[in-house]
Amino acid sequence: MNSDRRSNKQQIITNWNGFRVNHIHVIDGAKLCIWKSTQKQFLTIILLLTAMEIKDLFTQEIDERNSSSVPIGFYFQKYLRLWYFFLLGVIAFSGAALTYIYYTPDQYEITATLMINSGEEAKRGFSTNAVLDDLDGYQTTNIIENEVEVLTSVSLIRKVLENMNLYNTFFEENGFRRYRELFGEEIPVTIAYTRLTERPKIAPGLIRLELLDETSFRLETEEGHSSQHQFGDNLSNFYGDFSIQLKENRVGAFPKTLFFSFNDMRELAFAYSEDIEAEPTNKLSTIVSLSLLTSVPEKGEQLLARLVETYNSEALKNVNSTAANTLTFIDEQMAKLTAELAEIEQAVETYKNENAISDLSAESQLYLENSSNAKQKLSEYEISIEVLNNLEENLSDPNNPSKMVQGSLLIDDATLSDLVKKYNELQRDRQRLLNGTTADNPLVKNLDEQLYGLKSDLLENIQSNKRSIQVAKKSLEENSMRIEDRANRVPQIERELLAITRQQATKQENYQYLMRKREESVLSLAATSVSNARIIDPPMAGIYPAKPLKKLIMAFALLLGMGVPFGLIYLNNYFFGKIGQKNEVEAISRVPIMGEISHGKKKNLYLNKLSRRSVIGEQVNMIWTNMKFASMRKSNQVILTTSSIGGEGKTFFSINLARTIGLSGKKVVILEFDLRKPSVFQQLGIQPDKPGISEYLSDERYTARDILTLSDDNANIFLVSAGKLPENPVQLMNSPRLEELFAELRSSFDHILVDSAPIGLVADAYALSPYADLLAYVVRYYYTKPNHLKLINDIADQGKFKNPVLILNDAKSEHSYGYGYGDYYTRKTAKI
């Protein structure tokens, strides 16, 4: 059965999920599906599922109690008895639903579809050509999820609200304490602000505006403050400074009494940010669906249109701002580079002037050539000095006065060469003369005098040439040293100049790069006109209101009106319920039921023979008969009565059972074995005047005859009181005298009725288990809880007592099932 119910429910859910969803939007934080199927189909599905849930709950209750032996009508009757709860629930929830529908304005779903530009379309923008595009990590593609967040951002929506001038919301009365929002041409006035406070400290309420005539109006606050003004007057309140103007180009009729409120734009932006839904249609597209619920379709359409327009405007402004910032950055960097290039060029010029550099390469080559020439010239000077020294040595040799001198050809001096030539010629002439004459020859002497004069001139010329060559050599050496030193400094100069020129080249490259990027930025800025989003479907309002779903609300109200009372009754029965039907006992317990005892109004009990037959007497008589049949061929001499808790009527049953047995002529004794709270003598209105059970068990001087009390009403009935209440009844009942007591009473009486303590509270009754032949477990209607019957089931399963049976007490006419003779005996009784 359960599997069939689950399969039916699963089939309904499958059919439900088979319907196509048209749009999804948020209402009060929960997803509401607007189905393309009709509302009738939708409501039918909801009702079927809810009805099946209630049926499952009711069936579960029946299944849990093994309802195979219980007519289903009894479970319906249990709920139908409280029909007024269901009626009250239906009235309350239906009233609440009608009130909600009345005061909730119809809201229409405004939808729009737009495509976010990305990829190649986005590359038409500024960023792909700007300098930032060359930097690492710069992205040009729009991420759809990011754009969705931008579309519903509070700051963007606030700009839209401010552009639409929604600082106020206007209403007109539309029934009892119900208002309809006005928008656009329906509003006959405008409110212009000259100053707005940042955030109102006082929560704005509705202000009543009454148009008196074409020039004046009256304002009245919710607190009752009223004031009259002229159109155009400067007004001031917690919201700022403003003035109210009457529209000149009014079309059609307009209300004479309006209500308006001041809107906190920040809070209003947050509210619309939560109400506007923007989400991609699927993961593979850049199409975004926008939706909004509003009570004024025209306002919602304009708001979504302005939202897309402002979104595109802000995106374009962001692109232009990026371009402008980039151009500013480029101009600043170019200005810095120009100044730095000028400084570097000045440094190069100064360095060249300080180091006398025109062309460092040519100068280096010149230094090399000059150094080689200087070395060659110094070598020539050395040779000349050597030749002059040789000439001087030859001329000054006293051992060879007639020696001719050589080497004059190596001396680049015409005077010296002429003197040397002349001197050698005179020497040759002298040698020729000496060959034919003597040294005393006047011609020889004349030649000697000429030679002496020439020698002097030669020596003087040699000294003069040597001095000239020494000076030239020294000058050449100094000049050569300067050339060599300058040549050695060329690498350092070249290196330092290279470092300066390298900085100059780097700055020039940066300057050229920025110049190129500046031209690209200017061209890109001029060409940037692509919108960030393109509208596919413009904002459009639905034909029918999307909220509130009146039929659905009423259906749920009806279901709640029936379901809430049903659930409360079910929970009350589950957690706090009591046994109310005989069939419930039969379903829960496997112990046989001996019968029912009707509800009695008399408080005092008597053991004598009544003057007329009573219903309770007949019922107890039938129970006694059933007990005898139940214990057929078994002894039922000792009958122990108990219950789960106090107040279930075990003592009442013991007394009535004793009376029934006594009236049949059998001798019976009632033992008041509830040693904690005895009540037999109390209910009979008898004051015990003999020792009781506690005295007998604790004192061996007492015998069974000493504690027996004969009933004044019936000679066959004896009573034994509990006696003095002991501190530990269980320990007292473990006395060896307990067995002696029952043995002695068995020999004297036909039946022994033991009224013990409730077995669900204390363990006293278990001490009497060995002596009991039959256990009578009393259950009271609408008093005993279902879980209490687990005790008697446990007793029966584990054999803790012999022959356990159930006695149902306090049955009213609607409780009993199959025992309708009570009314008959109430109407028709015969005297005996």
Between 293-307, 630-644, 746-760, the lowest mean confidence (pLDDT) is in 630-644
- Kindly report the number of other CB atoms within 10 A of residue 421's CB atom: 13
- How much of the chain exceeds pLDDT 70, in percent? 73
| pLDDT at residue 125, as a whole number | 45
Q: What number is the average pLDDT over the span 245-270?
A: 86
Cα separation, 71 vs 76, in Å, equals 10
Cα separation, 579 vs 628, in Å, equals 26
Q: What number is the average pLDDT over the span 131-142?
A: 45
Cα separation, 58 vs 1, in Å, equals 14
Between 382-386, 715-719, 819-823, the lowest mean confidence (pLDDT) is in 819-823
- How much of the chain exceeds pLDDT 90, in percent? 26
List all residues 6 or more positions away from 575 whose beta carbon is below 8 Å from its beta carbon: none
Furthest-apart CA atoms within the chain: distance in Å: 226
Q: Can you read off the two tokens belonging to residue 788? A: 């209490």
CB-based contact 754:716 (threshold 8 Å):
no
Q: Which residues pair with 244 in a beta bridge?
A: 191
Task: Return mean pLDDT, the chain.
Answer: 77
Interaxial angle between packed helices 297-354 and 144-151, expressed in degrees from 0 to 180 and rounded to the nearest 10: 120
β-strands 774-780, 638-643 pairing: parallel
| pLDDT at residue 71, as a whole number | 54
Model confidence at 669, pLDDT cuts 50, 70, 90, reads very high
User: Closest Cα partner for 698 from 717, 718, 675?
Assistant: 675
407-453 pLDDT tens trace:
555 566 777 777 777 777 777 777 777 777 777 778 777 777 777 77
Q: Which residue type does 822 have?
A: G
Reduce the DSSP state of residue 424 to 3 states and report it: helix
Terminus-to-terminus CA distance in the chain, angstroms? Answer: 56
Which residue's structure tokens are 């150094």? 371
CB-based contact 805:775 (threshold 8 Å):
yes
Q: Can you list the domains of the chain with their CATH numbers?
A: 2-104+548-576 (no CATH), 110-324 (no CATH), 360-527 (no CATH), 582-601+610-688+744-827 (3.40.50.300)
Cα separation, 306 vs 672, in Å, equals 91
* CB hemisphere CA count around 465 (13 angstroms): 26
| pLDDT at residue 276, as a whole number | 93
**Cα–Cα distances in angstroms (integers) from residue 402 to residues 201, 399, 426, 640, in the given order:** 138, 9, 10, 186
- Kindly report the number of other CB atoms within 10 A of residue 71's CB atom: 12
User: Closest Cα partner for 709 from 762, 669, 682, 760?
Assistant: 669
482-507 pLDDT tens trace:
666 655 556 666 666 666 777 777 77
- Whether residue 21 is predicted with pLDDT greater than 90 in this model: the reply is no
Model confidence at 281, pLDDT cuts 50, 70, 90, reads confident
Cα separation, 324 vs 333, in Å, equals 14
List the alpha helices (DSSP H) in 437-549: 442-527
Which residue's structure tokens are 């040549």? 487
Where do the DSSP E strands lie in 28-167? 30-35, 108-116
| pLDDT at residue 826, as a whole number | 45
User: Closest Cα partner for 155 from 26, 315, 240, 265?
Assistant: 265
| Helix (H) and strand (E) counts in the chain | 22, 23
Between 390-404, 496-510, 619-633, 664-678, the lowest mean confidence (pLDDT) is in 390-404
Where do the DSSP E strands lie in 757-816? 774-780, 804-811
Strand order of the sheet with strand 240-246? 189-196, 240-246, 235-237
Reduce the DSSP state of residue 131 to 3 states and report it: helix
CB-based contact 290:151 (threshold 8 Å):
yes
